[in-house]
Amino acid sequence: MYNFSKLAERKNTTSYKWDNTKSQLPMNIADMDFMCAPEIIDSLRKRVEIGAYGYSIIPDELFEAYKDYEYRNHNIKYDTKDMIFSLGVVPSISTIVRALTNPRERIIILTPNYNIFFNSIYNNGRLIVECPLEYKDSKYSINFRLLEEELKNTESSMMIISNPHNPVGLIYSKEDLEKIVELCNKYEIILVSDEIHKDIVRSGFKYNPIFSIKNTEDNVIALMSMTKVCNMAGVSSSIVIAKNRRLKNRVERALNTDEVAEPHFFSIAPTIAALTKCDNWIKEMNEYVDENFRIYKEYIEANIKDIKLIDSKATYLAWIDVSKITLDSKGLCDHILEKTGLLINPGEEYGKTGEGFIRINLATSHENVKLSLKLLKEGIESFNK
């Protein structure tokens, strides 16, 4: 049994989340407050004890560990020859956008969506195309009619999805993914699947890997990492998977050109530990986060009548509908921070369809979760006045 109520002390550690704000309780940045698994800490301690921190290679053991993990947990067989190391999913996305599309081409995302997708597209001179998810009865689904209209535009060249979806917590069904793949194949669109949240799921649910879908050999790229799942985002370690040899070679050359295809001294060991020794930690972490979602749901339904917690199936990010109070969720979040010290994300950060929503990170202690609810209630009541 792991103790998820004992949090890492992150103040005064140059933490982006805890030392980059005057907030009393930051619940915005998508990393966990939990202590990493002891197996990961031990792997890093052994690296430190070497005492010389020079250049590192990428051992075959890393790719074999990914291969075994994915088969063990998701019953999918990968070939290690299709894998490329990268320092992170976000730099990989930016590299892939630059390498495989041209300036001013259209790149489609399902919104609301992870805000860094917008940056990776816009900052590289490509056009962001928001294809809004349908929102009905507090549930999200894909509008395939609208999606096809965007994909068939001759200036569209790529689609990027977060699988599972950040921030709404949607797990795409196999039927959803089959339809996405079918449309991307039909219109010769490169499909990039960011699967960094893949193993943060609610009880009874599993995500569907994009490569579990047929006809993904030619134009599909998957991005994976254990950093989000095991709370080691600062470690900088991920892989890119592409089954098409020519596509893989283009991506690999581009990653090397951008100097993000080589590990630093602490990239490999904790990743292998996460892949080979942390299944139980991940299981218990999900159970703990499940309880946080239950606490949020029950408290909101009993005490904050005008907001609605979306029924998330994945990630540790609560997506909350505050549209009955205001569509200006940034104004609401700013007010809550000023009045209570609770720092959360306004939905506008994730596209226009995020207006009237807020995002809150629940990967923290039950104590912090309960405190955040008290502060959220106080902030909303003050805002309403």
Summarised one tens digit per residue, pLDDT across range 85-94 is 999 999 999 9
| Interior/surface letters 290-300, b for 16+ CB within 10 angstroms, e for the rest | bebbebbeebb
- Please tell me the distance from the alpha carbon of residue 288 to that of residue 304, in angstroms, as a whole number: 23
* Residues whose CB is less than 8 angstroms from the CB of residue 264 and which lie 6 or more positions away in sequence, other chains included: 56, 87, 236
Q: Distances from the Cα of 293 to the Cαs of 132, 189, 288, 311, in angstroms?
A: 25, 37, 9, 9
With contact defined as beta carbons under 8 Å apart, do 202 and 312 qualify?
A: yes
Class of domain 42-277: alpha beta
Q: Which residues does residue 192 pair with via DSSP β-bridges, in sequence order?
A: 160, 221
Q: Quick one: pLDDT at residue 22?
A: 82
- Please tell me the distance from the alpha carbon of residue 236 to that of residue 178, in angstroms, as a whole number: 31
Q: Quick one: pLDDT at residue 365?
A: 98
Largest CA distance in the chain: 61
With contact defined as beta carbons under 8 Å apart, do 238 and 107 qualify?
A: no
Pairing type for strands 317-321 and 357-361 reads antiparallel
With contact defined as beta carbons under 8 Å apart, do 209 and 74 qualify?
A: yes
Is the omega angle on the peptide bond into residue 112 within 30 degrees of 0, that is, cis?
A: yes
Q: Distances from the Cα of 245 to the Cαs of 62, 219, 279, in angstroms?
A: 20, 10, 31
What mean pLDDT is reported for the chain?
97
Q: Quick one: pLDDT at residue 231?
A: 97
HSE value, Cβ hemisphere, 13 Å, CA-based, for 26? 17
Q: What are the extents of the domains in the chain?
A: 25-36+279-384, 42-277
- Please tell me the distance from the alpha carbon of residue 28 to that of residue 106, in angstroms, as a whole number: 29
With contact defined as beta carbons under 8 Å apart, do 297 and 122 qualify?
A: no
Which tokens is 237 given?
A: 């370690």
Domain 25-36+279-384 fold is Aspartate Aminotransferase, domain 1 (3.90.1150)
Q: Quick one: pLDDT at residue 255?
A: 98
Segments in the chain below pLDDT 70: none
Q: Quick one: pLDDT at residue 105?
A: 98
